[in-house]
Amino acid sequence: MTKPPEPTEKVLVSACLLGYRCRYNAEILEPRKIPEPVDAIVPICPEELGGLPTPRTPSFFEDMQTGREVLHGNGRVVSEAGEDRTAAFVNGAKKTLKIAKEAGAKRAYLKERSPSCGCHTVYVGEDRVPGIGVTAALLEENGIVIISVE
């Protein structure tokens, strides 16, 4: 009797890394090679999940407060025009975490430098600074390993 196959561990992947049209400027990226079986991959775009349209103007953190601070109510994400987008970013992060929990995902491959998905660097205004995106911070706080992809 053959043994049934082991269930594949699901992993989250930023949808833009897979060639989805969800970036702020609607640019389609060359799909990255994610070293996981195709049926394991769960694409997510936290900014679209949070209700933001594509295309959208870029979003930034303020005052050196990045994802962790924003999650805990100590910072904001704003558009170029100064519109407060914090609620959309936090909402998108919560919806992404819900998807991760439902899938049983323990790891997430995330697009570097995004105010949602960045793992090591993000933008405060036009400056690139050390920091983490809102979704990356929430996933990490919930024990999900975040893996940066350029």
Tell me, what DSSP letter sits at residue 84? B
The rounded distance, in Å, linking the Cα atoms of 113 and 117 is 7
Tell me which residue has tokens 């702020």: 24
- Contact between 22 and ligand SF4 by CB under 6 A: the answer reads yes
Q: Which of residues 27-56 bind ligand SF4 (CB under 6 A)?
A: 45-47
Q: What letter would DSSP give residue 107?
A: E
Minimum CB separation of residue 47 from ligand SF4 in Å reads: 4
C-beta closer to ligand SF4: residue 2 or 14 = 14
Dihedral angle computed from the Cα positions of residues 8, 38, 40 and 56, in that order, rounded to the nearest 10 degrees: 180
The yes or no reply on residue 134 touching ligand SF4 (CB under 6 A) is no
The residue (of 1 and 92) whose beta carbon lies closer to ligand SF4 is 92
The backbone torsions φ and ψ at residue 20, rounded to the nearest 5 degrees and listed phi first, read: -75, 150
Q: Which of residues 89-128 bind ligand SF4 (CB under 6 A)?
A: 111, 114, 116-117
Residues found near ligand SF4 in the complex (CB under 6 A): 14-16, 22-23, 45-47, 111, 114, 116-117
